[in-house]
Structure 1
Amino acid sequence: MENKIILEHERVNGNIIRIHGEIVLKNDQYLKIRREVRSNGLYDGLGIEKRKGDIIFSYIKVGSIFLPHVYYSCRGDLKGMYVNVNLPIERKSSGIYWYVDLGIDVVAEASGKAKIIDQKELEEMLNRKMITSDFYKLIMSKINYIKSRIDDEKSWTNIENLITCILNE
């Protein structure tokens, strides 16, 4: 099995961000990708400190509209979760996966409730007739379910079950 992977995160404007990682788990549900943070800053949407050496696990399921990223400190302490909402993830070729970002996301700090961010980006797509109102309603319904599922999680000790739930929505 080839361990290296590239995620092509395409924005609606056509800009592509290439995310490089290493496959650490491959099962019949998803691929688990590991990345190491290379610089300090803030995690987008979470507003929590990003430190060089932090570890990010991303979970890819072909066909899913969700792409969860779970952030840990270099010591293994959970920092939070960021769930990208996209058009369905596709496998372009061996080791390359691609998706188009819908702008809207769900985020949660390890110590707090989930929240929906950047909803205006999805609304703008609706206003520009890039998506239909039925598609908008479907996405919002799924996002609200994911948000409530994260909120209902009493403990993130079994994060893999929560991830599987998100990816199967």
Structure 2
Amino acid sequence: RLEIGHGKPDGRLISLGRGEVTGWDPEGKVTLERAMRGGGSYDALGVSKESGDVAVTKFREGRWWYPTTYTADDGTSKGTYVNVCTPVELFPEMVRYVDLYVDVIRQGDGTVEIVDADELEDAVDDGLVSEELSEKAMNVAEAVERALSK
């Protein structure tokens, strides 16, 4: 099992929980699977979290983003959430990165959009993220959006 350490530019480290390692290769790729508890909704997707849902997250060391796909217990896609972040680091007990606020989502119906760009702009205004890093994050988000839209 690996813990997901979701860093924030203000220095906080939030645990997104632990997942079962269902895939691994020596080139720095790890796939984690998490059983979800019911209650609330998935960030930006606006879809209800239900007991039996499964989240599959694919990390690649050094990549500036990672996808999590949410699936209902009957196999129906609830959507994909792509987190844009500093390069992913893999450690024996934890996956770590620093969140760069902007994300890309693909709804269950295939609709793709960039979300939370305003949060990234606010972080720049607050001095938490540099202009250069913000530009990199937006370029990554736009590339992911294009790839998911195909």
TM normalised by structure 1 equals 0.80
Distance 2:130 2:50 in 1: 40
Contact 2:86–2:100 at 8 Å: present in 1 too?
yes
1:117 equivalenced with 2:112 (yes/no): no
Match of 2:7 in 1: 10
Structure 1 residue 62: Cα displacement: 1.2
1:150 equivalenced with 2:124 (yes/no): no
Match of 2:62 in 1: 63
SS in 2 for 1:45: coil
Pairwise CA RMSD of aligned residues?
1.6
1:90 equivalenced with 2:111 (yes/no): no
Structure 1 residue 9: Cα displacement: 0.7
SS in 1 for 2:118: helix
**1 or 2, which has the higher helix percentage?**
1
Contact 2:102–2:137 at 8 Å: present in 1 too?
no
Q: Gaps (5+ residues) in structure 2?
A: none
Distance 2:65 2:10 in 1: 20
Aligned CA distance change for structure 1 residues 51 and 5 (closer, same or farther; 3 Å): same
Alignment partner for residue 103 of structure 2, among 101, 105, 109? 105
Distance 1:151 1:104 in 2: 17
Distance 2:12 2:128 in 1: 17
Which whole-Å deviations, capped at 9, do the CAs of 1:107-136 have from their partners, x for residues lacking one? 111203211111112112222343333332
Alignment partner for residue 24 of structure 1, among 8, 22, 25? 22
Structure 1 residue 10: Cα displacement: 1.5
Distance 2:78 2:102 in 1: 20
Contact 1:113–1:150 at 8 Å: present in 2 too?
no
Structure 1 residue 72: Cα displacement: 0.3
The residue type equivalent to 2:62 in the other structure is G
Distance 2:135 2:6 in 1: 23
The residue type equivalent to 1:20 in the other structure is R
Match of 1:131 in 2: 129
Structure 1 residue 64: Cα displacement: 1.1
Contact 1:39–1:51 at 8 Å: present in 2 too?
yes
TM normalised by structure 2 equals 0.90
Structure 1 residue 29: Cα displacement: 5.7
**Percent identity of equivalent pairs:** 27
Q: Gaps (5+ residues) in structure 1?
A: 153-169
Aligned residues, how many? 148
**Which stretch shows the higher mean deviation, 133-142 or 48-57?**
133-142
